[in-house]
Amino acid sequence: MNKNLFEVIVVGTMSAGKSTMLNALIGKELLHSANEATTATITRIHDKDGENKFSGAAYNYENELIEKSRSIDFEVLKHWNTDPEIKLIEITGDIKTIYNTEAELVIYDLPGPNNSQDDNHENLTMEVIDNNEYGLIFYVLNATQIGVNDDRSLLEKIKNSLQKDNHKDIVFVLNKADQLDEEKGESLSAAIKNVEKYLTNIGFEQPKIIATSANMALLLQKLINQEDLSRRENMQISVCDFKTLSNLSESELLSINNFINESCQEYLVEENTSPEDKRTLQEKYYQMGFGAICYFLQKEINHYNHLAAESVSLDKLKVFIGQLIMYYLKKSTMI
């Protein structure tokens, strides 16, 4: 196991919104998302604090580097993602929503396993989940298609893998909650209860379920970063009155609220922006479920940072004891 590696794995059925959720987390429309089987390759995103651009590299099935770019954008990634020769894309940049000091943080965007373009997707997904590194899995479900997509066998495999000595936790994200029509009887709380029942039946005990709308969260991030929105996007965000729900406990919700309050503090002191606006947008982003998503991510990374820091000081202690023994050995042979 690599001591410094912490993996965030985003997995789920085809078109559930995995790439969109990652874009909303990165705060940039980088990964290709569309309303059909879209992600065809594995993308690994490396978080490197302080980088002001995302750079990238693409590898073929023989693990040979075939393309490279110092400044990567949506178009380049879209092109690489549809290139049948490319199996793996590595990108590096600063993911500003996450603070990590010790971890080599890697985020995986995986293709939907029921993507008929490639039978191998489920195996690839399980390889990443089984690899025994520290990490967190976000399993994305489509709120409008509960029970339609047959992801039971994949969920069973994941549950079995997590039962072994696997260092990963799982959080379920019920995406596209904005598409439920409460007035037509499509209630979000009922959808959460359904998913909870579905997951408990498979064997997940007290699964954490967070409802969200990844594409609305992405639009909010674009506004926070002062990017221009298209006319359609402006319309979408102006009519969005989506309020999220989860099945989290009172104490978890309290911790999440504290996390949101602390995270929003920085906007009060930031210069050259209109602080109220940014703070309001950031709060909206968090209230859309991304507060809980960022909280769980940050909590795991903090715990991991602590572990990594302990193991670093343990290593230092070992070196020190070794040096001490050498010193006394030398001294005794001198006498």
CB 136 within 8 A of CB 101: no
Residues of this chain that interact with ligand GTP (CB under 6 A) are 14-20, 33-35, 37-39, 111-112, 115, 175-176, 178-179, 213-215
Quick one: 84 or 203, whose CB is closer to Mg ion? 84
CB 125 within 8 A of CB 115: no
Dihedral-angle region of residue 251 (phi above 0 means left; psi in -120 to 50 means alpha; beta otherwise) = alpha
CB 184 within 8 A of CB 227: no
35 binds, among Mg ion, ligand GTP, none (CB under 5 to 8 A by kind): ligand GTP
Amino acid at 99: Y
- List all residues 6 or more positions away from 100 whose beta carbon is below 8 Å from its beta carbon: 6, 47, 49, 301, 305
Quick one: 78 or 299, whose CB is closer to Mg ion? 78
The Cα 165–Cα 170 span in angstroms is: 14
Question: Degrees (nearest 5) of the Cα angle 166, 91, 11?
Answer: 40
CB 192 within 8 A of CB 211: yes
Q: Kindly give the interhelix angle for 152-163 and 188-202, rounded to the nearest 10 degrees.
A: 60
240 binds, among ligand GTP, Mg ion, none (CB under 5 to 8 A by kind): none
CB of 79 to ligand GTP, least distance (A): 16
Quick one: 9 or 103, whose CB is closer to ligand GTP? 9
H or E segment and range at residue 10: strand 5-12
Q: Is 19 in the site for Mg ion (CB under 5 A)?
A: yes
Q: Looking at 39-47, 70-78, 98-106, 140-148, which segment touches Mg ion (CB under 5 A)? A: 39-47
Quick one: 16 or 308, whose CB is closer to Mg ion? 16
CB of 125 to ligand GTP, least distance (A): 11
CB of 112 to Mg ion, least distance (A): 7
Quick one: 134 or 139, whose CB is closer to Mg ion? 139
Q: Is 125 in the site for Mg ion (CB under 5 A)?
A: no
Quick one: 19 or 282, whose CB is closer to ligand GTP? 19
Quick one: 19 or 125, whose CB is closer to Mg ion? 19
Quick one: 180 or 224, whose CB is closer to ligand GTP? 180
Tell me the residue nearest to ligand GTP as measured from the CB: 112
The binder of Mg ion chosen from 13, 23, 39, 247 (CB under 5 A): 39
CB of 224 to Mg ion, least distance (A): 23
Q: Is 215 in the site for Mg ion (CB under 5 A)?
A: no
258-272: b or e for each residue (b if 16 or more CB lie within 10 Å)?
ebbeebbeebeeeee
Question: At 21, is the secondary structure helix, strand, or coil?
Answer: helix
Backbone angles phi, psi at 277, to 5 degrees: -60, -50
Q: Looking at 36-44, 87-95, 282-290, 297-305, which segment touches Mg ion (CB under 5 A)? A: 36-44
The Cα 308–Cα 293 span in angstroms is: 22
CB of 134 to Mg ion, least distance (A): 24
332 binds, among Mg ion, ligand GTP, none (CB under 5 to 8 A by kind): none
Which residues of this protein are in contact with Mg ion, per CB under 5 A? 18-19, 38-39
